[in-house]
Structure formats: C-alpha cells, structure tokens
Chain A
Amino acid sequence: MNRTVRSALLAALLCIASPAIAADTINVCVWGTITGPDALVNGMSYGTHDYFTYLNQNKGGIAGFKVNSLLLDGRYKLDEELKIYRRCVDQENAVFINGWSTGAAKALRETVTQDGVPFISETFSSEVVDPVKYPYVFVAGPTYEQQMLVGLRAAKAAGAKKVVLMHGDNEYGRGPVTVVRKSGEIEKMGLELVDAIEFKYDAQDLTAQLLRVKSKKPDVIYIQSSTPQTLVILRDAAKVGLPPTKFIGNMYNISPTIPQQLGAAAEGFRAIQIYADYGADIPAMKEILTFKAKNEVAKQDVYYMKGWLEGKVMAAGIENAIKKNGGKVPADLKAFRKSIRDETEALKNLDVGGITPPLTFANHQGSTQARMAKVKNGHYVSVGSWIDAR
C-alpha cells in the first residue's frame, strides 16, 4: 500500500517536472463555465472536450496525431477568461481555442486577430462575427438576432400581431434585443412591438412583470434569457393566466429541464432549435454512444450536441491543415495556426453527423438555419422545416 502511494507520488512529481508538450501532439484548449451562473448549458464545453477524447480513443487522434485537449473553468468571469486565454496561447501552445462568454469574445476579438489564433466561441453575438474584421473568430450557428427573427417569423405565419420581448439585464439579454428593436425588422414583418421588458438576470419572481405583459394583450412573447429565468417566466405566466403557447425562447431554452420542472405549464412552449437533440437518430449520436460506453457523459442534452459539433468543426480544420502540409504537423506554430484558420474558413458542406445540415464556414458561423421545437407531452418535438435565418 505504502509503496503504491509512494510510487504514485513519484510518478506525479515526474509528470510535473517533465515538459508536457511531447512532439507530434496537437494542443487545443476549451474553456467554459464549469462552475458559475450559466453552468446549466456547459454541456457545450464538455461536448467539445469529449469529442477529442473520442478521436484519440477510436480514430487514433487527428490524421494519426494525438490531440491534447485541456478543459478549463472560466467561471463566467471576464478576468478569469482573459487569464485562461493567455495561458492557452502562451503556455499551452493551443492551435485552436474554444472559448465561452460574449463578454470575453468581445474583449478578445482584436487580440485574437493580432495573435493569429483560431478561436471559436460559444456566443452567438453578431458583434464578433465578421470574416473581414475578425478573421480568426468563428461561432457555431445563427446569431441571437437571427434566432429572434426566425421565431417571430414563425409566429407571424401563425397569425400573430402584437409582440412583447422579455430579456435579462445582462449582455446576452439586452444586446440582441436592442439590435433587433432598433433595426425596425419587427415592424417590417408587419408585427407591432407593444413592450420590451427587462428584468434582473437572476430574478426569482416575475409575477408583476407578467401582469404587465398580460395587460398589453400580446399574441406572442419572445424570451431572450437563460433557462433558469425562462422557468420563472413560464411558472409565473401560469400564475397570471398567460398560456405557455404564447411564449417562444431561443436555442438556450430547449433544455429538458423546462418540461421536467413545469409539467403542464410548459406544454406548447416553443423554442428555437439549431442542433439535433441528444438521443436523436443520427450518425453523430452513434459516436457519442461509442464514447459513452467507455467514459462518462457529463451532460446529456442539446448543448452537448453543440459542443460535439464544434469539436467536429475544429478537428476538420486541423485535419485539412495537416493534410496540406503533407500529412505532418507543421513545425512553425504560427504558420500552423494560420493554416488552420484558412482551412476552417474553407470548409464546405462539412458533414457533422446530422447535428445540423452540412456546414459551410465562409461566413464564420456555419449554419444559419433554425427551426421551431415545441413541448409536447413533456418532450421537445420539431415542428416545421429548417428556415434560413438570413
């Protein structure tokens, strides 16, 4: 016993002492909110990290090279995320970085470009998507604004006239709502915006706000908030007698927690679907089940699917860059990073195992398609077909 402990300690010490970077490995960095206010959706980070483990275990890595993926906790704190970014670029020599918050993506968008590091973020903010100004920044789906318009278009098609927007008082909540409101897109659609209501992003009771909503008699209420507050909204809506069928949330509200916790008060609630749900009958799910046979899957939800997809995009970019270099990992880190960026941007009709339709990354966001999902008998079912959000 004692000897085991001692040798384990010795081994650990040796691990620390020896330089971590072995030749011919590919370093990538993933950071998310492992602990923090929006940890509910951190399946996104686990999904990406797990995909690289899957590649190592089943495909011999990328193009024959092991992937060294590091998962870190940004705690949804800007200074922590900026620190992690520097570690990834400077110490871990990551060739592709997967980051988290809208704030960090905005603070880093110019730095990333100067450093020349391919960077994919969990945000959908339109302020970081610009292939010309920010050539190294990628996201993985339609922007929040595009999601909002898809939702409202679907409501309009069903005969809605009056719209209320509800959002939290953080960047993720207020930003996209302001952009859409000022763009006049809602009026162009032939809808009337009767009110926009901001609430504290971690609000625990919104009865009074929903009474205000009710007094405006809207046909549709679009929610731009995280799942915990969507729960509060739907719960208090039931209290004041607003049916869940009037509410639409974005892709972050497609969480199974909503029907699980609310039961009848969630029946008919709609949310934007961008990615196939966990457990869908698609090729990517078979990969995940293969992975699950040997490892633990931390979060079994749609966000994990998003993470898995991002892993596929990153891996495809890296693989093509290696192919271009004659099957070898380029010795020059800077050139490798640049090449990965170019190859990611050049991805055309990339098959992502059915999580979304095939992806083309010239626009730096891949899919711009979304469709509606509706809670029926406690589960989300897709309604209608894919709509292009542009």
Chain B
Amino acid sequence: MATLRKLAVPILFLVTMLASLTLGRFGAYLVHSVAIAAIGALGLNLLTGFCGQISFAQGALLGVGAYTAGNLGNAGWGIWAIVGAGVASAMTSLAIGLPALRLRGLYYAIATLAAQFILEYLFKILEPITNGISGLLIQPLKLFGRPVVGDQALAVLSLALLLAAYSFLRWLMKTNVGRAMLIVRENELVAKGMGIDVARTKIWAFVTSGFITGVAGAMIGFTTRLANPEAFQLSLSVDQVAMIIVGGQGTWAGPFLGAAFVVLLPEAIQRTGEAFDIARLLFALRDMAFGLLIILFLLFEPRGLSALLRRLVRWVSSLLPSTRTSVLTVKSHPSPPGDPNE
C-alpha cells in the first residue's frame, strides 16, 4: 500500500506522457500548455502559498526565462538553455525580493507590480537582448543534437520538467528551509523567536521560486518560438495568481488543478458555445466565468479545487464497500511532515 502511494505520482505522469504521444497536435498543445502553466504555478505557489508573499511579477519572470532560453538556445546551449533561464529568473526574482525584504503583504505586492511594469518596459527597450518589440525568434530546442519540434515531444518534455519541479519541491518542503518557510508565512515574529533567519528563508523562497518560474518561461519560449513583450504582460501574472487561488493556495494538487482549469476553461466554454451555436454570445461569457469563479472560490472555498477534489474523493470512497484506495486519493492526500494542510 505504502509503495503504491509513493509510486502513484510517477505512474500518473508516465501514463499522461504516453497518452500525450497518441494525441493529435491540438491535444498535445493543450497538454504542454497546461504542464508549463503548472510549472509556473508551482513556482508561484512556493512563494505565495508556502511563504506568504503574493507576487504580481510572475508574468515578467516568465518573460525573463523565455528571453534567456531563447538567446542561449539560439547560441547552441541545448538543454542548458533551460537551466540558464532558471538561473536568470532566479537572479531577477532575488533582485526584486531583496529590496522588498522588509515589506510585507500588500506593500510587497505593490513592489512586484512595479517590477512587472519596469521589466515589461525593459523587454521593449533592450533591443540587443530582446530584439525589442518585434520579438525574439527562437530556434527549436536541441536535445542530444536533435531539434524538438512536434507538440507531442514538447508535451512529454514539459511533463518531465513538471515532474522534476514537483519532486524537487516535495523534497525541499521536507528540509529545514522548507519548514522555516511555513512558519514565516504564519507569523514572522514567531519565526524570529524560534531562531529562524527570516531574511535568509525568504531569499531561499525568492531564488527557488524564480528558478522554477524561469524553467517554465524557457518552455514557453521553446513552444511558441517567439518571445515578444506583449506575451508577458500583467494579465499573465494575474492568470498565474488565479491558478493558485482556484487550485488551492499552499496545497500540492492546487497548481496542477488550477493550471488545468485556467488554461482549459476558455476552450471548454468555446466548445460548448459552438455545440449550441451560440459561440458569439459566449465570447464575453468566458471572462465573466473567470472573474466570477475567482470570487466564488475565495468566498466559499479558499482551499480551492483541491479541497473540492478531496471532498469528491472522500464521497466516492465512502460509496465503495472495500478499503481499496484509488490512485486519485493518493494524489490528493499528500501528508508529508510540514504539510500546510495538516
């Protein structure tokens, strides 16, 4: 039983990877869109969900990742371009976070808002690096000397990176640094009283979250093959924040569920509209549903979709006679030491 639990997540990933190989291009595109958004959301969730710092600069940080990966990839760095992108975003995240170390909550949020706008401006102005407004054209990512172009291959790669990011974060939250983050989120004074170096803990959060975001940004670059300033605006930051809220802040399943929800909702509404031949009416409804759901979740279920899922699983398993636990239960019931759900 215990081994099954441990293996459930990798098995789930493996199945998704194999399944995405059989999908058409459109389906595979959706898979890598969701996977990449989930990597970004995992990064943000570390900062916001586990360390209590809300950030509106996520869109710009993804941009830093995409531009760095694009430049390095075009220069022939191969897979190292992704690592480089992570490092660049981590440094940027640190540069935003350091001066804001003594700011809390609201003021930190406004500081990141300022950072978002300043970075957007830099994307447009630093022509030698970003190619300005017309955008940086990015060569396909080269893995072992072969270009990765198909959406199916990109989906598999994105899923692999998502699994890596997830596993790393699971490990991190079990270390002392991870536990310190949770205490800082709850109360900085208490953390200080316990002898935790608050500043250093926050710096860890900024760097780690930035690195993971940079990896997501790199994959955005390699899938769209064009990094331009219009793609990394504030609305992308808002989307990312919405993902962790709808999914469930500070939960493990949250970023996955939130990313899937935010990326797939417009498509679902669009298809429904077409099926009933009212697509033109529904064009506006898409955003309305988005706004309304954010409000409703925050009002009635602050733990988001992951709490709903948990309830659903509990309800289903109460219907089942035996003690068999489904794979889903395992995924939605992670309880390592230091888990914020406890």
Contact = CB atoms under 8 A, between A and B. Distances in A.
A292 B228 CA distance: 40
Interface string B19-36: 000001110011001000
Contact of A127 (B29, B134, B225, B270): B134
Contacts of B137: 106
Contacts of B228: 78, 103, 171
A86 B275 contact: no
B276 interface: yes
A80 B265 CA distance: 12
A82 B29 contact: yes
Interface string A52-82: 0000000000000000000111000111101
Contacts of A169: 124, 133
A145 to B, nearest CB: 13
The secondary-structure label for the interface of chain B is: helix
Contacts of A206: none
Interface in A259-303: none
B212 to A, nearest CB: 20
Contact of A83 (B29, B135, B226, B231): B29
Contact of B29 (A34, A86, A170): A86
Interface centre among A87, A106, A169 (most CB of B within 10 A): A87
What class of interface size applies to chain A in its complex with B?
A: 20 to 34
A103 to B, nearest CB: 6
B222 to A, nearest CB: 12
A1 interface: no
A15 interface: yes
A37 to B, nearest CB: 10
A91 B24 contact: yes
A103 B233 CA distance: 15
A78 B226 contact: yes
Contacts, number: 72
A175 B124 CA distance: 12
Given A12-B276, A83-B29, A87-B26, A35 B134 contact: no
B149 to A, nearest CB: 8
Contacts of B230: 78, 103, 170-171
Contacts of B280: 34
Nearest to B225: A107
A91 B28 CA distance: 12
B287 to A, nearest CB: 8
Contacts of B25: 86, 89-90
B26 A35 contact: no
Contact of A34 (B30, B275, B283): B283
A153 interface: no
Nearest to B284: A35
Interface centre among A35, A83, A111 (most CB of B within 10 A): A83
B33 A83 contact: yes
B35 to A, nearest CB: 14
B124 A79 contact: no
Given A35-B284, A86-B151, A106-B135, A79 B275 contact: no
B284 A106 contact: no
A171 B224 contact: no
A111 B29 CA distance: 14
Contacts of A127: 134
B302 interface: no
B284 A103 contact: no
A174 interface: yes
Contacts of A107: 135, 224-226
A171 B283 contact: no
B275 A16 contact: yes
A90 B26 contact: yes
Interface string A74-115: 000111101100110111000000000001001100110000
B80 to A, nearest CB: 24
Interface of B: 24-26, 29-30, 33, 124, 132-135, 137, 151, 224-226, 228, 230-231, 266-267, 270, 275-276, 279-280, 283-284, 287
Interface of A: 12, 15-16, 34-35, 71-73, 77-80, 82-83, 86-87, 89-91, 103, 106-107, 110-111, 127, 169-171, 173-175
12 contacts: A16-B275, A34-B280, A34-B283, A72-B270, A78-B228, A79-B231, A90-B24, A103-B135, A106-B135, A107-B226, A169-B133, A175-B133
Given A103-B228, A111-B225, A175-B133, 11 more contacts: A34-B280, A77-B231, A78-B231, A83-B29, A83-B267, A86-B25, A86-B29, A86-B151, A87-B26, A106-B134, A171-B230
